[in-house]
Amino acid sequence: MTARIPPVLRPEHPLARPLAGLVSEFGLESVGSLDGVEITGVTLRSTEVQDGDLFVGVRGVAGHGASYAADAAASGAVAVLTDVEGAELAASSGLPVVIVDSPRAALGGVSAWVYRTNEHPPLLLGVTGTNGKTSTSYIVEAILKQLGLVTGLSSTAERHIGDLNVVSRLTTPEASEMHALLARMRESEVRAVAIEVSAQALSRNRVDGLLFDVVAFTNLSHDHLDDYADMDEYFEAKVVFFEPDRGKRGVVSLDSPWGQKVVERSRIPVTTISATPGVVGEWNVEILEEKAEFTRFRLTGPEGRSVESSVPLIGWHMAANAGLAIVMLVEAGFELEAIGQAIDGGITAYLPGRTERVSGERAPSVFVDFGHSPDAFLNTLGAVRNVTKGKVIMLFGADGDRDKTKRSEMGRVASENSDILVITDHHPRFEDPDSIRAMLVEGANLAEHQAELYEVSPPEDAIRKAVSLAKEGDSILWAGPGHQDYRDISGVRTEYSARQLARDALREAGWDVAPTASAGTDPR
């Protein structure tokens, strides 16, 4: 069975804008009559065209999107925006064609104009970095809610509009989808939005047309070297977030060496934060207590001002994310004292698939996590170790057709920091899953202190194996799938939930399971 592709959220009551006005305001070339043509939406996908849409044709790897202009017209598109090559392909559609040098580069500004997202925008808070983007975004939103605001969220896991939640497609949606989402949020009177911003989003124009009130940097570590030539190029993709046309103010974590580089390169005012002993920022996070249910911390800033709270997550890195979220809100204009009062009983964030505990009280602790890089493994395994009396069991696989250079180090870190390691499959895509597992096993064998190793396929059997090896007092960390509700096998999205499979395996073994998704509560 193929999993359903999540929907694009658009305004329910779009306001029409004249195509002639777009051409005039942006000084664009056009072919065909613009008289009376009004546009109410923008899309890159001919299969998702709605009546009144401006269809944008972009050159892709396999072909040019403008070749689908006739299909778009049949579905209700009223005009095409594309490049010179695309204009020739779209000519037979009978639609007026607007011509730009780069449709993708123009998409953000055009979408902002169509959806009017630059008119009275909400507070925009953006987070980038290798790890921690999703967690920080969720924590920002949770605190905003505790402060009494109607909020929005765009993350790897979900999109939120007030109380409406839908599963995400991409970490950061295409610019047309992002502006449509913000327009829908405006209809719901959303006051503040937390947005997770990937390096690919910055490189591929997905947040064009947005000016963030506060931008934040979590860290940088080995990942995405299938998209970027090396770590320096990966860093360059991130650091552009700290330009005046992207953000007004910034918050930078110094918990990775790249943080100081961001500070040095930033062209906007920034403040710094650290949760690393011996590394001092303008703000600093101190861990007060770690349990399987929560991590309690103190954030101290300039002039000795401080706040104490907790997050319903394990690990110093989650407390660091919470501290970063708080400082972002301070930089956005919220009073630290007001934030402290709102979160005095704990930050009530529920983060799907981020060290999410799916086991009950009488059971080995089982955490499902989205982490899929060596650094994420290191931090999360350390956090699990700190709250585990017995053995730490690690279960993971790796993405197919993605960065192969990190696989060996993933295997080594996983073996080095666990007692028992179960290697399985994740998203093989079009790659041979046996060869993926072989690279992970090879890396695991490089560990100085090697875990007891098992290779089990498919994941359904692997989680049963991990549970069979666990006793009460032990912990299992299943890293990789996190919140995702599918596996990509040969291009087919097959329905699949690691969280549900883990609960099923626990029940089969006679253990308790935790209730499904719930927000954090006061741990004190």
Question: Residues 122-148: pLDDT tens digits?
Answer: 999 999 999 999 999 999 999 999 999
Kindly state whether residue 259 falls inside one of the protein's structural domains.
yes
User: What's the domain range around 164?
Assistant: 123-342
Q: Please tell me whether residues 27 and 142 are part of one structural domain.
A: no
* Cα–Cα dist 488/20, whole Å: 43
β 192-196/151-154 pair status = parallel
Q: Please tell me whether residues 256 and 135 are part of one structural domain.
A: yes
Total structural domains within the chain: 3
Q: Please tell me whether residues 85 and 156 are part of one structural domain.
A: no
Contact 134, 354 (CB under 8 A): yes
Kindly state whether residue 252 falls inside one of the protein's structural domains.
yes
Say if residue 458 is preceded by a cis peptide, omega within 30 of 0: yes
Using one digit for the tens of pLDDT, what is the confidence trace for 363-412?
A: 999 999 988 899 889 989 999 999 999 999 999 999 998 889 999 999 99
The beta-strand segments (E) located in 141-276 are 151-154, 158-161, 164-167, 192-196, 212-217, 247-253, 270-274
Residue type, 204: R
Neighbours of 395 (CB within 10 A): 30
Contact 490, 401 (CB under 8 A): no
Question: Residues with Cβ < 8 Å from 459, sequence gap 6 or more?
Answer: 397, 424, 425, 426, 481, 487, 496, 498, 501
Look at residues 89, 115, 141 and tell me which one is the last residue of a structural domain: 115
Contact 323, 283 (CB under 8 A): yes
Q: Please tell me whether residues 248 and 221 are part of one structural domain.
A: yes
pLDDT tens string for the chain (524 positions)? 344 566 789 999 999 999 999 999 999 999 999 999 999 999 999 999 999 999 999 999 889 999 999 999 999 999 999 999 999 999 999 999 999 999 999 999 999 999 999 999 999 999 999 999 999 999 999 999 999 999 999 998 899 999 998 887 655 789 999 999 999 999 999 999 999 999 999 999 999 999 999 999 999 987 767 777 898 999 999 999 999 999 999 999 999 999 999 999 999 999 999 999 999 999 999 999 999 899 999 999 999 999 999 999 999 999 999 999 999 999 999 999 999 999 999 999 998 888 899 999 999 999 999 888 998 899 899 999 999 999 999 999 999 988 899 999 999 999 999 999 999 999 999 999 999 999 999 999 999 999 999 999 999 999 999 999 999 999 999 999 888 888 989 989 898 899 999 999 999 999 999 987 543 333 32
Which among 399, 378, 438, 433 has a CA at the least distance from the CA of 224? 399
**Is 164 strand, coil or helix?**
strand
- Strand-pairing partners, residue 349, are none
Tell me the CA distances in angstroms from 225 to 144, 232, 373, 411, one per residue in order: 34, 10, 11, 17
pLDDT of 171 reads 57
Q: What angle do CA 270, 272, 274 make, to 5 degrees?
A: 165
Residue type, 398: A
Q: Please tell me whether residues 164 and 238 are part of one structural domain.
A: yes
